[in-house]
Amino acid sequence: MEKILTTILSQYVKRGSLTLVTPGGREFTFGDGTGEEVRIRFLDKGAERGVVLNPELRLGEMFMDGRVVVERGTIYDFLVLVLRDATVDDRSLPARLLGRIRFLTRNFVSRNNRWRSRRNVAHHYDLDHRLYELFLDPDRQYSCAYFERPDCTLEEAQLAKRRLVTAKLLVEPDSRVLDIGSGWGGLGLYIKQMGGARQVQGITLSTEQLEIARGRAEKAGVADSVRFVLQDYREVEGSFDRIVSVGMFEHVGPRFYDTYFNKCRELLKPDGVMVMHTIGLMDGPWYPNPWIDKYIFPGGQLPALSEIIPAIERAGMIVTDVECLRMHYAETLLAWRRRFMARRDEAMALYDERFCRMWEYYLACCEAAFRFQNVAVFQVQCARSAYAVPLTRSYIAERYEDLRMREAMREADAIREVAPERPAQTPASEPVPLRKQRH
């Protein structure tokens, strides 16, 4: 296996400096010698054999178990060297055959009926909420941020994401909004407080997220108009002016794409608008990463745009806008990984060393995938009527800036509430008028 492993690495690693130490103590170097050295050691022949025969699953497992050790650099540094110049042809014959089998059986893997969906969500989202507080922004946004400037902080980028999604949603004062996969409630609260929706209903399958979301709505004084319920999307009844879904469609699975969009059409009013924000594949349908499926998101599967659009069309809706956010999630994951590693000791206090290695590998391999493996985020807007949205995309930028202005006004109001009163001779500043919306 040593010879096969070194042959594969020599095909994958074209740039950089990688040193491999085998179980027998032999050292091999790969790359062109540029940059900082990354040094990785296999501690036993079983680890070596497993990674050769099933790299997508076993590399992560061996790292979690401490049988593959990165002695210099990080596991992310190693993944960069391996993936940035790799092609499908570089994979070993066993890995290619295994990949073909996984693709043919992917519908079986993601058979996300109601019972499985609830169990799969609990596996990841019902972890101790203190874990997520180690690396998420204060609003607990656990999806791709929107870096409108290179120097954006994570907090600014996550606020910009909520702003962009809400702008595309075309929320009106009388809008009744359904948030499918509402998480910890941040987007639903933003749509109410900044977007001005009359009512927001958020649905989730996570009991941990539900409790926090409801508490946030109560604290904000909007629990009567922002409701969060434990419910599967297939169980929702009613009629909504707007439907939004961020980071949920990845958990639907190809077998249920038609079910999902048919339900959305049923719930959406004839003049309604839907916005879906989902991770997806830019190079066509493929199978879910087996390590991610086993340890992180069981039943999850990334859709290709060529799967999303036909399913929308079959449901009798039309696509009114598509945007591809390419490196935004890579930057989001970079921020999460740095924050998690900076507070790794706190994660250890909650779980154990193996869990921390698992979480480090999860954040590292996902970031590498977004940088080097044609994974991106799609924002797809659709409607039942071609007249539901304006004729040009200028309304998105206009509403985006209006929302930014409302945020600034809200922040100024909050400061005035806690600041001492101004002297009588100091005139108060006039509020900034909102831009008139064009529809």
* Distances in whole angstroms, Cα of residue 343 to Cα of each of 247, 335, 367: 25, 13, 19
144 as an active site residue: the answer is no
Instruction: Write out the DSSP string of 375-405.
Output: EEEEEEEEESSTTSS-SSTHHHHHHHHHHHH
433 burial class (0-12, 13-18, 19+ CB within 10 angstroms)? exposed
Residue 376 CA to residue 359 CA, distance in Å, equals: 21
The letter for the amino acid at 394 is: S
- Give the H/E segment covering residue 323: strand 318-325
> Which is catalytic among the residues 152, 356, 365, 366?
366
What DSSP state is assigned to residue 298?
T
**Contact by Cβ (8 Å): 14, 32:** yes
Residue 253 CA to residue 230 CA, distance in Å, equals: 20
Q: Give every CB contact of residue 338 below 8 A, 6+ residues apart in sequence.
A: none
* Enzyme catalytic residues: 366
